[in-house]
Amino acid sequence: MASNLTFSFETYLVGGAVRDQLLNLPIIDRDWVVVGANYAQMLEHGFKSVGKDFPVFLHPDTHEEYALARQERKTGKGYHGFSVIADGTVSLEEDLSRRDLTINAIAKACDGRLIDPYNGIDDLNARVLRHVSIAFKEDPVRVLRLARFYARLYDFGFKIATETKQLISEMIAQGELNYLSPERIWIELSKALNGAHPDQFIACLRELGALKIILPEVDALFGIPQRPEYHPEIDSGLHTLMVMRQAALLNADADTLFACLCHDLGKATTPTHILPKHTQHESRGAVLAKKLAQRLKIPNDTQTLAIKVAKYHLYFHTLNQLRAVTILKLLLSLDALRRPLVLDQFILACIADERGRLCFEDREILQGEFLKECLIALKGIDAKQLLLTVDPAKIPEIIHLERLKKIKNVIKDYTWS
Ligand code: ATP
């Protein structure tokens, strides 16, 4: 949105908007940097201060974000270990120098001129993700952001510069990634799960050696074999990535993708003497998914779905062999009667699990339709009518029997091919 206001300071479009414009991608939001103004002057011009950690303001008309040009000095470990200088004396080049990647450090002046002191345009054209300066090391979140941009721009074929990989290896060796807060990890992970290639976010972190620090339970899956007759891809980590890929192709939401990420964690703790079998990996996986989700302080609904998918995905794969009582137990455990969306998410994660295997990608899967028919049948029970006709003490038992009858009818009428 254009603004009628005129200012005594300079403003430049920066970051993602410039990068995405140069890649001909749609611009999601526009961030601006302000050069030659201080905090008080911004307020005088009607900007509203919104930054908690940094001097960021909202434009009075457009409500777009304007940040004072700033420099940061490392004072401690992790994301909050910075002191910030933003007193109106910091130049545009100095501000761009503290940014993470060269492709994110291009500015555009109001007359359309591009200011690109770190050769971000060359890197955009050559499809390279490269750190701007050695200051990259000072904030471990940048490693997650790099993996996120790798995944986001995956279709463009971006590679990570060798010197950036080297720098990240040093950060890992110095323990800098251990200071990532759970909240920051979840923010970046959930953004990646909402993107088109969440599997590539995980693959990139692994390639960088960061997965074992951020998600050790997932990293441990790589190198664990599975039975080739069910899993021609063999490797459990690879399978997890393939499941995420299939889920993304089915437009799964972030919660479902997180469940896909965690669905087989139990395979990493299978006793070696039974490999490549994974007896009871579901219950072990549910415990690990809960531990991981609690460590990262992941929202309750997201946690619950991941735990349920880990625990019950084998029920889905063997559905046509299950008895009515087990199918009822599954639907009640998923709380499907009250939360049909959870059933949809569960079904989608399990379809992705079936298809996320080498040569199984195009499989037609009927279990989801079957479960939904069971749910419709259960919903058809007229509980009020039952309440009128039976002894109140017997109601739970009568409802249970009625539910079993309904599911048995669906089983009888269902054709699995
Ligand atoms: P997105 O479309 O995901 O918002 P973006 O590049 O605009 O992508 P933002 O998180 O909005 O990402 O950040 C805006 C800009 O601020 C980035 O392009 C980058 O220049 C800079 N930036 C953000 N976070 C960091 C960080 N942790 N370290 C260095 N620079 C950062």
The answer for 322, left when phi > 0, alpha when psi is -120 to 50, beta otherwise, is beta
Atom of ligand 1 nearest to the CA of 79: 27
Ligand 1 neighbours, Cβ below 6 Å, are: 15-16, 28, 31, 99-100, 104-105, 139, 141-142, 145
> What is the per-residue pLDDT across 305-328, written as a single tens digit (0 to 9) for each?
999 999 999 999 999 999 999 999
What is the CA(33)–ligand 1 centre distance, in A?
12
Mean pLDDT, rounded, for 64-84 = 80
**CA 156 – ligand 1 centroid, Å:** 19
The pLDDT assigned to 79 comes to: 57
Summarize the confidence of residues 68-92 as an average pLDDT.
Answer: 82
Atom of ligand 1 nearest to the CA of 31: 14
Residue with CA nearest ligand 1 atom 6: 16
| Residues 107-113, mean pLDDT to the nearest whole number | 96
Residue 82, pLDDT > 80, answer no
Q: How many Å lie between the centroid of ligand 1 and the Cα of residue 100?
A: 7
Ranking 77-81, 123-127, 170-174 by mean pLDDT, the lowest is 77-81
Task: Tell me, in angstroms, the distance from the centre of ligand 1 to residue 104's CA.
Answer: 7
**Per-residue pLDDT for 2 more than 80?**
no
Among protein residues, the one with the nearest Cα to ligand 1's atom 18 is 15
What is the best residue among 31, 133, 142, 146 to mutate for testing ligand 1's pocket, by most ligand atoms within 8 Å of CB?
31
Q: What is the mean pLDDT of residues 48-76?
A: 89
Q: What pLDDT sits at residue 1?
A: 43
For ligand 1, the distance from its centroid to the CA atom of residue 68, given in whole angstroms, is: 15
Tens digits of residue pLDDT in 94-109? 999 999 999 999 999 9
Q: Which two tokens stand for residue 369?
A: 């339709």
For residues 360-389, give the mean pLDDT.
Answer: 88
Tell me the mean pLDDT in the region 342-368.
Answer: 93
Confidence of residue 48 (pLDDT cuts 50, 70, 90): very high
What is the 256 CA–ligand 1 centroid distance (Å)?
26
Residue in 19, 99, 137, 148 to alter for ligand 1 test, most ligand atoms within 8 A of Cβ? 99
Residue nearest to atom 8 of ligand 1 (CA): 16
How many angstroms does the Cα of residue 28 sit away from the middle of ligand 1? 12
**Which protein residue has the closest C-alpha to ligand 1 atom 28?**
100
Which residue has its alpha carbon closest to ligand 1 atom 17? Answer: 15
Whether the per-residue pLDDT at 355 is higher than 90: the answer is yes
Mean pLDDT confidence for 278-286:
92
CA–centroid distance, residue 14 to ligand 1 (Å)? 9
Q: Average the pLDDT over 38-44 and give the result.
A: 92
Q: What is the reported pLDDT for 195? A: 96
Mutate to test the pocket of ligand 1, among 23, 84, 104, 142 (most ligand atoms within 8 A of CB): 104
* Mean pLDDT of all residues in 159-179: 97
CA of 303 to the centre of ligand 1 (A): 28
Confidence at 262, pLDDT banded by 50, 70, 90: very high
Question: pTM of the entire structure?
Answer: 0.92
